[in-house]
Structure 1
Amino acid sequence: MSNRLSLANRLALLFAACTAVVSLTAGVLFNRASEAHFLELDQQLLESKLPTLRTVLHDVDNARRLDERKPALQTELAHQPDLALKIRGFDGAVWFDSLPQASADMPMHNGLHTLNTAETAYRAYTVALHPDTPNSPQLTLLLNITHHQHFLQRMQHLIWLTVGLSALATALLGAWAARSGLQPLRQMSEIAASVSASSLTTRLPQGDMPRELADLTQAFNAMLGRLDDAFQRLSAFSADIAHELRTPLSNLLTHTQVTLTRPREIEDYREALLGNLEELQWMAQMVNDMLYLAKAEHGLLTPNREHLRLEDEADALLEFFLPLAEDTHVSLSREGQATIKGDRHMLRRALSNLLDNALRFTPAHGQVWVRIEKINNSVRINIENNGPTIPAELLPRLFDRFYRADPARHEGSTEHAGLGLAITQSIIRAHGGTIRCESADGLTRFVVELPA
C-alpha cells in the first residue's frame, strides 16, 4: 500500500504526460507543415527557372547543338549558385552536368523528389526539355536544400527539448497545484481521524470547501450526524435497560433475602417463588421484546405475505379483549373492511398492542373504535379511544423505547415496559406502512396505513 503513488503525484504525472503529448503533436505538425512549405517553395523556384532554360535550349535536340548553347547556359546557371543542371538524351546519355561530382550516382526520377549525398541534400526536378516532342531530352534541375534540412533538424531538436522541458515544468507545477487543490481532502482526513465517540459533534466547514467537494462534505457531515444520533440513542437505550431492570432485580434480591432470613413453611417458600417467577417472566418478556426490536432495526423482520381480511382479524382481537373491556365498562366496536397481504401473527401483535394501549387509557364507560377503510392503493386502520388528551409535544416520542406518556406509572412496572408501541411501529414499517398518533379534544387516534 505504501508504494502506491499519491493522488497528487498521479495528477502531476498525468499533467506532464498530457503536456508532452500535446507539445509533441504540435511540434510534429509544425515540422510537417514546414517540410511541406519548403517543398512547395522549392517546386515554385524550380518551375520558375524552366521557361528561361527552355528559351536558351529551344533548338537543342542532340549533344552537338548543346555544345553551341553551353556558354549561354553556364551564364544563366551562374545567376544562382545553389542551382545545378543535368541534361540527358532520350537514350539516357548525359549531355551536360554542372555538378558531376555530386550527381553522377544519383538516381533520377521524373517529377519532384529529394536526393541526399554524404554532406548535401538536393531537390531534384526532372522534366522534358520539349514537352511536345516524343523523344525530347530530359532536364534535371538540382537545388541545394542543405540549409533547409539543417533548419528542420534544429527544429526537431528544439521540439524534443521543448517537450522535455514542458513535461518537467508541468510535472512540478502540477504537483504544486495538486497539493494545493487537495488541501480540503487532507483537512477532511484530519477531521475524520480525530472523530471518536466523544467528538461526534465535529463537522466539516461546508462554506470553505470547493464545489466539487461540497456534496462529499455534506454527506460526511450527515454521516457524522447519523452516527451521533445512533450513539446517543444507544447510550440512552443502555441507560433505559439498566433503569428498567434495576427495580425488578432489586425486588428479587430483597424478596429472596427476606425469605432466607429464617426458616419458613413450605407454603411460604412457594409464595416467594411464585412472586419471583412473576418478576422473572416480566424480565424475560422485556428481553424478548428488546431482541425483537434489535432484529427490526437491522432489517431482519421478514413478514410472511398472505391474504388477510382485516375485519376478521380485528373481530378476533376485540373478542379477546372483551372480558377486560367489560370489567371497566368500556364498549368495543369495529367498522369497515379491507383485504391486504401481510403476516397474520405480526399484524395481530401490532393491533393487539394498540388495543391494549387504548383500553388502558380509556376511562370507565368509555369507548374504543376500530375503523377500517381503503383509500386509493392503501388501507387505513384507525384505533380511537376517548380519554385524556396527549400533549402535542409528547406525540413524536410515543414510539420511543421505554417511553411512557403516563407520569403516574412508576419505573420498572411489571405490567408494561414501554416497548409495545416501539414494536408496533417496527412491525408496521416491516410491512411498508406508517403509523402516527393524533390526540385532541379528549380523543386519541392511532392511524395505521398499509399498502393494499
Structure 2
Amino acid sequence: MRRLSLGSRLALLFAACTAVVSLIAGLLFSRASESHFLELDQQLLDSKLVALRSALQGAEDPTLFAERSAILRDEMNHQTDLALRVRGHDGSLWFDSASKLSADLPTSPGLHSLQSADIAYRVYSAPLDPERNDSPQLTLLLDITHHQHFLQRMQHLIWLTVGLSALATALLGAWAARSGLRPLRRMSEVAGGVSASSLTQRLPEGQMPAELAELAHAFNAMLARLDDSFQRLSAFSADIAHELRTPLSNLLTHTQVTLTRPRNLEDYREALHSNLEELQWMAQLVNDMLYLAKADHGLLTPHREPLQLSEEADLLLEFYAPLAEEAQISVNREGAAPISGDRSMLRRALSNLLDNALRFTPPLGQVQVRIVDRPRSVQLSIANTGNEIPEALLPRLFDRFYRADPARREGSSEHAGLGLAITQSIIRAHGGTIACESGNGWTRFVMELPKGSRGQP
C-alpha cells in the first residue's frame, strides 16, 4: 500500500482533532441543555404542586376531594401540557386527567421520565400533605415532547457540524500543510538538483521557518562540505596526474634516447640507474598515497607503547644535525614529556616537520623544538625562522600536493607535498590535533597529543 504523504497525515490529524473537539463540545452542550430543561421542568412542577396543595388543602378524604374535583378539572383544562392523577392512601383512583396513560406510573418521590407512544412526559410524584402518612398521592405529568424534539434536532445538528467541520478542517489542513511544507519541497528540489557540476546551490536560510532554519543550515553546510571535498578531490586528481606525468615523461624520454642506437654496457647501466631513481620516487609517492587512503578509511591504527618525546626528538635532531650544520642553522630542543604512541609513526611525523623546517629556514636561521607537559596532554611545537605564510593559506597547508607559495616549492619531484598531509593523519590517528601559526618572522607547527591510549580514526 502507498504510504500517506506528510501533508495528508497532517490534514487527517487536523480533521480528527476538530471532529473530536466538536463532538465533545456538542455533547457537553447537549447535556447542558438537557440539564437546563430538567431544571425548568422541576421549577414548573414545583410551582404547580404548590398551587395544587393550596387548592386542595383540607380535601384529604374522597368526599371532600369530590367537591373540588370540578374546580380541579377546570384548572387542568387550561394546562394542555399538564396532567394530574390523584390516588388515595389505599391506592384508589380519585382523579385522573391522564386516562390515556398506563395505570402504573412511577409513585416514588422525585422527578421521573416516561415515554408513551410518541409523547414524552416528566412525572413528578408527591403527597398532598407531606406531614401526614395517610395523605393522598399527587402525580403530575408534564408533556416535554417539544423539549425532546429540540434535543433531537440539536443532536442532528451536532453530528452535521462535526462532519462539516471535519471536512472543512481536512481541506483547510491540506492547504495549510501544503503551504507549510513548501520549504521542504524546496529542499527536495535543491537536493534533487545536486550533482558534481552543481554543488553551489544553497537554501535561503533567512526565508525558512524557525523549525526548518537549523535543518536548512545543516543542509547548506553539508553542501558546502561536499563542494569543498569535490573541489579538493578534483584538485587532487589533477595534482597526482601532474606529479606522475613528469617522472613518466622522463622515463619515456630517457628510455627512447637510450634505445635510439647501440650503446656500451656502462651507458645502459647509467640509464637504468637514472630510471631507477624515478621509479623509486614514483613508488614512494604511491606508498604515501596508500598510507593516506588507509588513514581516510580509519585503518591507520597506532601500536601504543610508552615513549619519551624528548628522546625521540633528540634522535631526529642528531640525524638532521649534519644538514643543519651545512646550512648554518641552529637547532635546539626544550622540555620533555612521556606519551603513549606508535614510535615509527610519531618519528615519521616529527621527521616530516623537521625536514620541512630545515628546508625553508634561511642560513643563520633557527629551528626550535619545544615540548610542554600538561595534565592530560602533551604539546609539541616545531618552529623555524624565515618567510611568513599568509594567514589565508594556513588552513590549506595540510592538503595533499599543496604548496603554500612559490617560495616554498621545490623544482624537482623530490617533495610532492604529501608530508604535512601524512603528518596530520598520524596525529589524528593518535587522537591529537595539529595546526600552523605564522607571524613575527616565525612559522610554528603545534601538535596537541593526548597522554591516554585512546585515539581517533
Q: Same fold (TM over 0.5)?
A: yes
Q: Which amino acid aligns with 1:219?
A: A
Say yes or no: does 1:210 pair with 2:209.
yes
Q: Take 1:223 and 1:175, find their aligned partners in 2: how far apart are those partners? A: 31
Say yes or no: does 1:66 pair with 2:54.
no
Q: Take 1:389 and 1:52, find their aligned partners in 2: how far apart are those partners? A: 113
Partner of 1:42: 41
Partner of 1:115: 114
Q: Take 2:53 and 2:70, find their aligned partners in 1: how far apart are those partners? A: 15
Indicate the RMSD between aligned Cα atoms, in angstroms.
Answer: 2.5
Partner of 1:435: 434
Shift of 1:145: 0.5
Q: Take 2:297 and 2:124, find their aligned partners in 1: how far apart are those partners? A: 88
Q: Cα–Cα, structure 1 residues 116 and 441, in superposed 2: closer, same or farther, change >3 Å?
A: closer
Q: Take 1:409 and 1:374, find their aligned partners in 2: how far apart are those partners? A: 32
Q: Cα–Cα, structure 1 residues 45 and 65, in superposed 2: closer, same or farther, change >3 Å?
A: same
Q: Secondary structure at the match of 1:58?
A: coil
Q: Take 2:436 and 2:168, find their aligned partners in 1: how far apart are those partners? A: 68
Q: Take 1:198 and 1:409, find their aligned partners in 2: how far apart are those partners? A: 32
Partner of 1:11: 10
Q: Cα–Cα, structure 1 residues 151 and 405, in superposed 2: closer, same or farther, change >3 Å?
A: closer
Q: Take 1:93 and 1:266, find their aligned partners in 2: how far apart are those partners? A: 151
Partner of 1:276: 275
Q: Which amino acid aligns with 1:257?
A: Q
Contact 1:310 1:339 in 2 (8 A): yes
Q: Which amino acid aligns with 2:447?
A: V
Partner of 1:97: 96
Shift of 1:7: 2.2
Contact 1:303 1:343 in 2 (8 A): yes
Shift of 1:406: 6.5
Partner of 1:135: 134
Partner of 2:318: 319
Partner of 1:196: 195
Shift of 1:331: 4.3
Shift of 1:281: 1.9
Q: Take 2:81 and 2:342, find their aligned partners in 1: how far apart are those partners? A: 103
Mark the runs of 5 or more structure 2 residues left unpaired by the alignment: 452-457
The 5 A counterparts of 1:334-413 are: 334-364=333-363, 366-375=365-374, 377-405=376-404, 407=406, 413=412
Shift of 1:29: 0.7
Identity %: 73
Q: Take 1:408 and 1:74, find their aligned partners in 2: how far apart are those partners? A: 126
> TM-score, normalization: structure 2?
0.90
Q: Cα–Cα, structure 1 residues 98 and 131, in superposed 2: closer, same or farther, change >3 Å?
A: same
Contact 2:360 2:408 in 1 (8 A): no
Shift of 1:434: 2.9
Q: Secondary structure at the match of 1:13?
A: helix
Q: Secondary structure at the match of 1:92?
A: coil
Contact 2:87 2:138 in 1 (8 A): yes
Q: Take 1:83 and 1:253, find their aligned partners in 2: how far apart are those partners? A: 123
> TM-score, normalization: structure 1?
0.91
Partner of 2:455: none
Q: Take 1:254 and 1:410, find their aligned partners in 2: how far apart are those partners? A: 25
Q: Which amino acid aligns with 1:294?
A: A
Q: Cα–Cα, structure 1 residues 133 and 325, in superposed 2: closer, same or farther, change >3 Å?
A: same
Q: Secondary structure at the match of 2:380?
A: strand
Shift of 1:335: 1.6
The 5 A counterparts of 1:260-299 are: 260-299=259-298
Shift of 1:192: 2.3
Q: Which amino acid aligns with 2:173?
A: G
Q: Cα–Cα, structure 1 residues 36 and 410, in superposed 2: closer, same or farther, change >3 Å?
A: closer
Q: Which amino acid aligns with 2:197?
A: S
Mark the runs of 5 or more structure 1 residues left unpaired by the alignment: none
Shift of 1:431: 3.0
Partner of 2:179: 180
Shift of 1:326: 4.4
Moved more, 235-244 or 290-299: 290-299
Q: Secondary structure at the match of 1:102?
A: coil
Q: Secondary structure at the match of 2:101?
A: helix
